[in-house]
Amino acid sequence: GRSCLPTNFDANYGYALGMFSSICLRDRLTGVIASIQNLRGAIDTWRFKAVPIVQLIHFEQRQGKEKPVIQKTLVDLHQPSYLE
């Protein structure tokens, strides 16, 4: 949740991600997460990638049983990409 109006980047990113997601569905490409790479570049240089969900899964012990989960990753606002 953001507390301000979306930027032009937000609008372009959301639109592009939605379009790519719909292309994946049209082509019956399921079990993937749609992603976009090269977001720092101009929009015409963005690269679309469908990441298989199974590549993100690892197993954790939960209540004594092995469970498949996608590991949570926290955003570090002190990373170089956020300091520009």
- Tell me the whole-structure pTM to 2 decimals: 0.69
pLDDT digits (tens, 9 = 90+) for 18-59: 999 999 999 999 999 999 999 989 999 999 999 999 988 999
Round to whole Å and give the CA distance between 59 and 50: 22
Other beta carbons within 10 angstroms of residue 34's beta carbon come to: 19
**Mean pLDDT, rounded, for 4-15:** 90
Rounded to the nearest 5 percent, the helix, strand and coil shares of the chain are 35, 30, 35
pLDDT band of residue 1 (cuts 50, 70, 90) is low
DSSP string for residues in 29-64: --SEEEEEE-TTS-GGG-EEEEEEGGGGEEEEEETT
Coil, helix or strand for 65? strand
Length of the chain in terms of residues written: 84
